Structure 1
Amino acid sequence: MAAEEVCMAPSLSGVEGTDTIHLEQRSNDSSAATENQQQCTPVPAPIKATACTYTPEDLEGLPELAVRLLTAWRPLLERINAGCSAPPAYEHLAEATAVVDSVAKELAKDVELRQQIAQTPYMWESLRTALIFTRNHLFCVFGVGKTGVACPKRAERAVDLATAHFQLVRNLCAQVRSNQQDAWEQGFYEPMEEIISYLCSWLMCMKKGCCINMRERVAKCVSMGTQMLANMMTGNPDVQDKLWPRYFTESDLLLQLINTADVHQLTYVLICILNCTMMCRDRCMYVIGTAIGRDLLKVLLDKAEQLATVNCNAFDYVYAIFRNMIELDMTPNIMHALCHGRDPNRKHVLFQQHITYLRLLDGLIDAQPHCDSHDHSPPSVMPIDLGIDTLVLLVVVLRKTVDAVRRNLEEVKDLTVINEAPRSVFGLDLEGIALLLHCIGRVASELGPDAKIKLMNAHLGKSLIDLMHFLNSVQPRSTIKTLPPTRQNVSSQSSSHASTPTASSPTPPSTPPMVAQQEPTQSPFFMLKCDVIKIISNLSYEAKEVQDAFRLFGGVEAVLSQCAIDDDNPFIKEQSILALRNLLDGNPANQALVASLRPQGIEPSSQRILAEANLSARVDDATGKVRVGPAASDTRSLPPVNFSQHRATSRIESQDTRPASRVESLDTDESVDGDDYVAEMTRQGARVVEIEL
């Protein structure tokens, strides 16, 4: 019996990585037990419970369920009052487990029954003592020997007993605030915390595939304990205010549970966190302002990244937790908390947790209902209101991230690495810039004039123009990329050689070989210019002061320079035209600036494209118009050109799949008006490459 009463726990540092972590029947040899005990680390000493004694006569007249519980607990209470953690016999332990489990299921059906049982004499004191006995007995069973248990059957019974009691407390506290208060005053959370914390450590030490049956029982016990903790606090701010700080200053139980629980059991932990933080900024601050809380915050974001591809409800609860904090305008706090302890002089600004959080923020903003003056139906998603502090913080992060990208680019000697492995140069900063621009652009469309001015005072306008100039330098406009080879191209090339067999190929192949189509390499700066233009457009809409500010920063010219086709920024021409409209609307100064502009020359890339078609362009000094004519080296008149052939030589893309008609010949003796040329090609269904001013 002495060996059974030893309260020892396996040393986590001692058993980690070994092959002996399994359940097995051990001998009762005292010398072997002593040798094994020396390799173990003691757990806290057994908790001494206040004596709670009653006789069968004391139970007369009590509710039937209460009598069953108190009768089943009597052998356990007698043993713990005598200073012994082991039950007198197996049947007593099995009976207590069965009775507690049965009563717990009855309580789940009736709220009034929970209140009635809670008012029964001896109930709360006896339940506390039973929990303490369960805790001491479980440590006794698991703590003998380096393998962690002395007997698998006893270990299963100990875990089942704990599970039943956790279920009982869980159901007692459901929707009964007085029971929640009594459970807290009795300190039920203390033995529960120690049991769950120990079992979480046991699960982490066990190797996968080992002791499958025992692992399932332990996981169920941990899950039930988590639900017990959640029900003790849910809907009761008084208990939440008393218990919640404990798990960020005295215990890391929540962090243990998240790291240990599988995808499905994780849901209960997330529900507990969500219920305690819902619409309460003070309790949210524990997640951000403490060391344990910051670790918990990072683990939650890591879990969100993993759960996004798993079909379960856990991701929805992670999303709800961060949505709640976003609605409380805690984005600045979260972004700063994720940087806590990082090197302030680090090469890259953003980390994976930043990116995951920005994705959640971006998804939340993108899910907001669009403003529609004609739709008066209630929105399916309640809108959120991001505070100006959050938007200013996003602007500050954008500026710092752009500066970091610029510095890292200056250190690159081989520019090919930018397209091949951009993360090796920029880390996650480019992804962060794209997310920041998208978030700011989406919110900017809903802002009033005053909020827009505050963002401009935070240097958003200048940052956008500087970013546009930077992108122009690292990502020149790409008009039409070379199409990869296809079967049709290979067929047309092979047909020209089919009638000329060679010695190595006596007969031409009947079917040309298939060449895999490869997509052109996408620029790491893809669509960033479009995002910048969208923000400029949204900010300048019906905001004269913002329009004036962009004029001073050179924003009007920057937008005008993007009124052209760019394969790396689809639809940037159309977006720039809209942005230009918003910059000029109701602003005579901006209109006068545009009117004063004169063409200075032809953009080099446009000249190269025209040269492939044996054409050239120039600016007429007298009229200021752009005129297109034959290349200077070609004195022949151009024959009538079929549109399909013209597409292959001049690389002007068609947007119409119908057979194209012919274009009239161009007279070589006189130049062609650029406007007439564009109009004619547009009539034929072509997408003409615009000429930059």
Structure 2
Amino acid sequence: MAASSSIAEMCASISGILNEKHCPEHLQILKTFTTALREKEYRDAVDEAVLSPLLRVLTRLSEELRAAVPSQGQDRSVTLELQLTAECFRAQRNACVQSTGNQCLLRDLGFIDATLKLLKYLQTKEDQDGVLEPLRCGIQFIGNIAVGNQMCKDEIWQLTVPDHLLQLLCVDDEKTATYASMVLHTCLDEAKVETLALPENVPLALKVMELCRTQPDIDWTVLIATQHFLKCTVLVTGMYTRMQHHDRVTLLELLLAQLREEDSECGIPPAVASFLASSFQSGCSAVLTLATGSVSSNEVLQEALTVISLLDVLCEMSSDHREFMFLQDHPDLLTNTTELLAQVHAIGKSSKNIFSASQNFSTFSGEAGSSHHSPVVSFKAHLIRLMGNLCHNHTNNQNKVRELDGIPLILDNCSIDSNNPFINQWAIFAIRNLLENNLENQKLVASLEQRGEADYSALRELGFEVEERDGSLLLKTVRKDT
């Protein structure tokens, strides 16, 4: 149809709905309008003359839905009203596509406020048949009108944050939660993210993180977390302190994925790294509770898993990320890590428990019937990795590990352990960093070998051998294939 001539006809048809009892023909009129709005030429020709009657239709539907008394005789009427409401929302949604002019016009006419008020009512009836369709379509409209339009974003933010948007994310329908997440992502910017850190707004951010865990297929929540939340120190700390441990693990997993992204800046502030290091230090002893084999509660287990996730993040941050190398000087981080390794290692040697070395490689080979998966797999290896990272080109930390008896501790872990894959390689890495340009540490390792406290084969695997010359012990590098 020609846009110029059909607009006037559509205006008359929509206006006619206001003067008649609702009927299926009205639904067809709105569907025709929705379909026509898919064409750019038609969208560009739409004006206030046709959109104003549409707003009046939506307002009337809102009033009738609120006034409807559930009864057998009114089921058909309410169902039709819900269908008409959904079609109004679809028309509004389509009108916004690649049309800043229509977005502004719809906003100026009051469609945002009217839609949000109706959505708030529909949420209270989400268990009623036919409600989800208009609920979903209405949220899609709110998302479309916000795309690329700052004034619309600001108005939506003012009207929905935190309570209304939080309620939409809580609707027990994946599509509704998905569309609501899309709205939040579209509206967010750096300033708005910081406002989410306000105590009254944190529950909204926490709900997003909960959805990342419970509904990982909703891409919008992951994008919100990685593109916005993790870049705001005040929000990360605000969420973390109020989170349950299982949601902390989710946050840390997303953060770890960001750190591992290639060819991109992770955007995580150094202050976040410092906060996580302090969190690891204050809670690291929780992992020791796993040694008993009878964790008293799921909460205790989750707390230990949080410590393990924190360690993984700190290992990654201190590897090839210059912006986080200040962690080498983070107060007592190296000391706490070394002492924790000593405790874990001693517990593992004292009796058979979760920290004991194992040669049960069926766990990793996919052998039939193998269901064991230890929550502390690689934990000791990663403690050693972190120690090696913190000692790289850092004389003070090299000396500190020696003073804490950490060098023989690491050498004692140069063995095959199915609970700690690659522990031998991480021990090699750590020892190399500890000995590099540090004569005192080299002398210590040489003396350990002479006293039999260091396995010569382990030293050779590390690429060193001890040589006695003029009454002194020298540690020199060798080729491992000689």
TM-score range, shorter chain: 0.7 to 0.9
Contact 1:563 1:573 in 2 (8 A): yes
The answer on whether the counterparts of 1:103 and 1:168 sit within 8 Å (CA) in structure 2 is yes
Q: Distance in 1 between matches of 2:393 and 2:472?
A: 32
Alignment match of 1:591 (pick from 435, 442, 446): 442
Q: How far apart are residue 471 of structure 1 and its match? A: 1.0
Verify: 1:69 aligned to 2:69, yes or no.
Answer: no
Question: Distance between the aligned counterparts of 2:3 and 2:297, measured in 1?
Answer: 70
Find the counterpart in structure 1 of residue 21 from structure 2. 89
In the alignment, the residues of structure 2 paired with residue 479 and residue 316 of structure 1 have an alpha-carbon distance, to the nearest angstrom, of 39
C-alpha change, 1:297 and 1:248, in structure 2 (3 Å) is same
Partner of 1:355, secondary structure, is helix
1:52 maps to which residue? none
2:246 to 326, 348, 352: 352
What SS does the aligned partner of 2:46 have? Answer: helix
When the two structures are aligned, how many residues end up with a matched partner? 450
SS in 1 for 2:293: helix
Aligned 1:569-580 pairs, distance under 5 A: 569-580=420-431
> 1:266 aligned to 2:266?
no
Q: Answer yes or no: is the 8 Å Cα contact 1:358–1:435 preserved in 2.
A: yes
Structure 1 105/68 Cα, relative in aligned 2: closer, same or farther at 3 Å? same
Q: Give the 3-state SS of the residue equivalent to 1:108 in structure 2.
A: coil
Measure the CA separation in 1 of the matches of 2:334 and 2:361. 37
Asked if the contact 2:3–2:42 (Cα under 8 Å) also holds between the matched residues in 1, the reply is no
Residue 451 (structure 2) pairs with residue 528 (structure 1): no
Q: Specify whether residues 65 and 551 from structure 1 end up closer, same or farther in structure 2 by C-alpha distance, changes over 3 A only.
A: farther
Deviation at 1:306, TM superposition (A): 2.8
Given the alignment, which residue of 200, 204, 214 partners 2:123? Answer: 200
Q: In structure 2, how many angstroms separate the alpha carbons of the residues matched to 1:483 and 1:545? A: 38
Partner residue in 2 for 1:334: 236
Note the C-alpha offset of 1:570.
Answer: 3.0
Indicate how the Cα distance of structure 1 residues 447 and 554 shifts in structure 2: closer, same or farther if over 3 A, else same: farther
Q: Decide whether the 8 Å contact of 2:245 with 2:299 is kept in 1.
A: no
Q: 2:28 maps to which residue? A: 98
RMSD: 3.5
Q: Could you tell me which residue of structure 1 aligns to residue 459 of structure 2?
A: none
Q: How much does 1:465 deviate? A: 1.0
Q: Which runs of structure 2 are paired with 1:144-293 in the superposition (5 Å)? A: 144-145=69-70, 150-204=73-127, 206=128, 215=129, 217-249=130-162, 252-260=163-171, 262-277=173-188, 280-291=189-200, 293=201
The alpha-carbon distance between structure 1 residues 324 and 107, as it changes in their structure 2 partners (threshold 3 A), is same
Q: Residue type matched to 1:321 in 2? A: I
Whether 2:44 is the aligned partner of 1:115: answer yes
Tell me the distance in 2 between the aligned counterparts of 1:131 and 1:517. Answer: 61
Tell me, yes or no, if structure 1 residue 452 matches structure 2 residue 393.
no
- Distance apart, 1:601 and its partner CA: 6.3
Code of the residue aligned with 1:434 in structure 2: it is I
Which of these residues, 328, 335, 349, is aligned with residue 462 of structure 1?
Answer: 335
Structure 1 or 2: more helix by fraction: 2
Measure how far apart 1:227 and its partner are.
0.7
Counterpart code for 2:42: L
1:10 counterpart residue number: none
Q: Which residue of 2 aligns with 1:317?
A: 220
* 1:130 aligned partner, one-letter code: V
**What letter is aligned with 2:54?**
L
| TM-score (norm. length: structure 1) | 0.59
Instruction: Assess if the C-alpha contact under 8 Å between 1:522 and 1:568 holds in 2.
Output: no
- Are 1:305 and 2:213 counterparts? yes
CA radius of gyration, larger in = 1
Q: CA deviation at 1:468?
A: 0.9
CA gap of 1:268–1:63, structure 2 versus 1, over 3 A, is: same
Closer/same/farther in 2, CA of residues 600 and 588 from structure 1, 3 Å limit: closer
Please list the CA deviations of residues 2-55 of structure 1 after superposition, one character each: whole Å capped at 9, or x if unmatched: xxxxxxxxxxxxxxxxxxxxxxxxxxxxxxxxxxxxxxxxxxxxxxxxxxxxxx
Three-state SS of the structure 1 residue aligned to 2:204 is helix
Contact 2:136 2:175 in 1 (8 A): no
Query: 1:497-544: per-residue Cα shift (whole Å, max 9, x none)?
Result: xxxxxxxxxxxxxxxxxxx99759665533211011111222333344
Distance in 2, matches of 1:464 and 1:479, equals 19
Counterpart mapping for 1:48-59 below 5 A: none
Gaps of 5+ in 2: 350-354, 455-470, 474-479
Distance (whole Å) between structure 2 residues aligned to residue 386 and residue 482 of structure 1: 38
Gapped regions of structure 1 (runs ≥ 5): 1-60, 79-87, 207-214, 309-313, 343-349, 370-378, 410-414, 485-515, 604-622, 626-678, 683-693
Q: State the AA in 2 paired with 1:336.
A: G
1:475 to 321, 332, 348: 348
Counterpart-to-counterpart distance in 2, 1:555 and 1:234 = 56
2:392 maps to a residue whose letter is: Y
Tell me the distance in 1 between the aligned counterparts of 2:55 and 2:151.
21
Tell me if the contact between 2:295 and 2:301 (Cα under 8 Å) persists in the aligned partners.
no
Deviation by residue 1:134-193 (Cα, 9 ceiling, x = unmatched): 21122223xx14x5x751210121111111111111111222223222222222122212
Task: Name which of 312, 315, 319 aligns with 1:441.
Answer: 315
- How far residue 428 of structure 1 moved from its aligned partner, in angstroms, is 0.8
Checking the alignment, whether the CA contact within 8 Å between 2:3 and 2:45 is kept in structure 1 is no
Question: Which whole-Å CA distance do the structure 2 matches of 1:425 and 1:166 have between them?
Answer: 44
- Taking the aligned partners of 2:247 and 2:211, their CA distance within structure 1 comes to 10
Q: Cα gap change, 1:447/1:545 in structure 2, threshold over 3 Å: closer, same or farther?
A: farther
Give the Å deviation of 1:201.
Answer: 2.0
Letter of the structure 2 residue corresponding to residue 401 of structure 1: G
Provide the C-alpha distance between the structure 1 equivalents of 2:332 and 2:318, rounded to a whole number of angstroms.
15
Query: Normalised by the size of structure 2, how large is the TM-score?
Result: 0.82
Find the counterpart in structure 1 of residue 204 from structure 2: 296
